[in-house]
Structure 1
C-alpha cells in the first residue's frame, strides 16, 4: 500500500473505532434496540436509491442482514446499554474472527490452517483473561451479550462466504433492508409502545448526531473507502488496519469518558489482537487449496467492522 492508501485505511479504522464512543454517547435515553433500528433506517433509506443491489437471492440477503447487522448490532447495543464500555466492546467484537474460523470449519468443512489454529487458541486465551479481569464495572451479562454479537457476526461472515456474494458496500446496504422493522418490533415487545413513543418524541440532538455519524460516516462512507482500498490492494494489506479500531475505541473512551482499562483488559486485549493477527496470516499455498478459511478471514466481500 502507498502512503495515501495507508492514511485512508488508518482514517477508516479511526472512524470505526470512535463509532463505539459515539454510540454510547448518543444512546442515553433511547432504548438500545430502537436506537439500532433508527440507525439502519438511515443507512437504508438514501443508500438503496444509489447503490446497486448485489446479484443474490433475497433469502441470502435476509440471512446476511439477520446475522451480520441485526444480530451483531442488536446484541452490541443491548450490551452497551447493560454496561459494556465502548472500548472493551470494540475489542471483544474482534472475537468474530475466531468464531468465523470455527464455524467455517464445522459448517463449510474448511479446515483451518496451522496459523489459524494458533490464532484461535491465542484469541480464546485473551478472551478468558479479559473475562476474568474485567472488574466490577463490567457486568457479566453485558460481556456475554457482546460475545453473542461477535458470534452473530461470525455466522454472517460464513453465510456471506457460502453465498459467494461480492461487494461489501452493496451487501451492507441491501442486507440492511430487512433490519429496521424486526429491531423496531423487538423494541416494542421489550420496552413497550409507551417507552418507544416517548423516546421518538424526545429524540435528542445527541441521538441525531450519533445516528448520522454511525449511519453516514461509519457505515456508508467507511465502507465506500474501505472497499475502494480493497479494490486497489491485497486484502492482507488492508484488513489488519481494522485492528486499530479497538485501540482508537479504548483510547477515546479513556480520554473522553474516563473509562480507563485495567491491566487484565489491556493484557488480554493484546493477546486477543495477536491471535487475530496470527489467524489472518496467509497460509502457504497447497495443491489442494481452493480458497478456505484463510480466504474468508481476509476477503474483500466480508465486512470487517462497521
Structure 2
C-alpha cells in the first residue's frame, strides 16, 4: 500500500476507536434508540445526492436492519447498561468470529485451521472477560454487546451475497433503515416528545459527539474504507481494523479513567490475537518475507523496503 493510503487506513481505525468514547458522551443526553435514530438520520442525508445502489430493496433493508440497526441499537443499550466503552470496542470485534461461524453454517464455507484457532482464542478471551463481571461490568451489558456483534456478523454474511457495489452509496442508503425502528422504540418507551426535549437540553458535547458518529464515523470513515477496499485486496486493508479496539480502549482509559484488571487485559488480548489470526493472511506474509528460502538458490534472507 502507498504511504498515504496506509495513513488513511490508520485514520479510519482511529475514527472508529474514538466512536466508542463519543457514544458514551452522547448517551449522557440521549437514550440508545434516540442516539441510533440521530446517528443515521445524519448519515442518510447524502441520499439526496447519491443514486441508490443496484441492490434489491429487500436485501438493502435486511442488511440495514442487521449491520446498522441491530448492531448499534444493541451496542448503545449495552454501553448504557454497564458495558465500559473501552471493553465494548474489543468485545464488538467478536463479530469476526461470528461471521466465520455463520458463513460455515449458512454459506457452507469450510473454516481453515487458522480460522478455527483464531475462534478458539477469541472464545477463551471472551470467557476470561466474563469472569470479570461485577468489576465495572454487568452481565446485561456484556450480553447486549455480544448480541450487537452477532447482528453485525449476520449483516456481514448478507453483504457477502451481494454483487460488487459502491460501498459509500450502499452505506448511505442503508442508513435510511435504522431511524424508523429506533424512533418507534423511542416513541413507545419514552413518549413522542422525548427526542425533541433531549435535543433542546443536550449540551454541546453531546451534540458534537452525535455529529461525529453520523458524519465522521459513518459517512466519512466508510467512504474512505470503501475506497481502500476498491483499491487494494481485503487482506491488505482489513488488518488495519485491529487498531480500532486498541484506540477505543486507550481513549476510554484516558477520557473516562476506565481501568482494566489483569484478567480482563488478558481476555482482551486473546480476542485481538484470535481476530488477528482470522483476518491477517500469515501464509501470504510468509510468501512475501521468505522468497529466498523457497528458491533454494541460497540461504540468505534479504529484507527489502516496501512502500
TM-score w.r.t. the length of structure 2 is: 0.88
Gapped regions of structure 2 (runs ≥ 5): 285-307
Superimposed CA distance per residue, residues 49-90 of structure 1 (whole angstroms, 9 cap, x where no aligned partner): 233321111100000000000000000111111121111111
Gapped regions of structure 1 (runs ≥ 5): 286-306
Distance 2:266 2:100 in 1: 23
Distance 2:211 2:260 in 1: 28
| More moved, 92-101 vs 275-284 | 275-284
CA offset at residue 233 of structure 1? 2.0
Q: CA RMSD in A?
A: 1.7
Contact preservation (8 Å) 2:239, 2:280:
no
Distance 2:227 2:164 in 1: 17
Superimposed CA distance per residue, residues 25-62 of structure 1 (whole angstroms, 9 cap, x where no aligned partner): 122131111111011000002x1123332111110000
3-state SS in 2 of match to 1:239: helix
Match of 2:19 in 1: 19
1:87 aligns with 2:86: yes
Q: 1:165 to 1:141 in 2, by over 3 A?
A: farther
1:62 aligns with 2:61: yes
Contact preservation (8 Å) 1:85, 1:259:
yes
Contact preservation (8 Å) 2:36, 2:178:
no
CA offset at residue 175 of structure 1? 1.2
CA offset at residue 171 of structure 1? 1.6
Distance 2:163 2:234 in 1: 16
Superimposed CA distance per residue, residues 227-279 of structure 1 (whole angstroms, 9 cap, x where no aligned partner): 22222222111111111011111101111111122212211111111111111
Distance 2:245 2:282 in 1: 25
CA offset at residue 196 of structure 1? 3.6
3-state SS in 1 of match to 2:136: coil
| More moved, 194-203 vs 224-233 | 194-203
Match of 1:218 in 2: 217
1:104 aligns with 2:103: yes
Superimposed CA distance per residue, residues 190-220 of structure 1 (whole angstroms, 9 cap, x where no aligned partner): 2333544432332332221011111111111
CA offset at residue 167 of structure 1? 2.8
Distance 1:189 1:88 in 2: 30
Distance 1:246 1:282 in 2: 20
Q: 1:268 to 1:171 in 2, by over 3 A?
A: same
Q: 1:5 to 1:145 in 2, by over 3 A?
A: same
Contact preservation (8 Å) 1:31, 1:191:
no
Count of matched residue pairs: 284
Match of 1:33 in 2: 33
Match of 2:166 in 1: 167
Q: 1:63 to 1:165 in 2, by over 3 A?
A: farther
Match of 1:260 in 2: 259
3-state SS in 2 of match to 1:52: coil
Superimposed CA distance per residue, residues 78-133 of structure 1 (whole angstroms, 9 cap, x where no aligned partner): 11111211111110110001110111111111111111111111111111111112
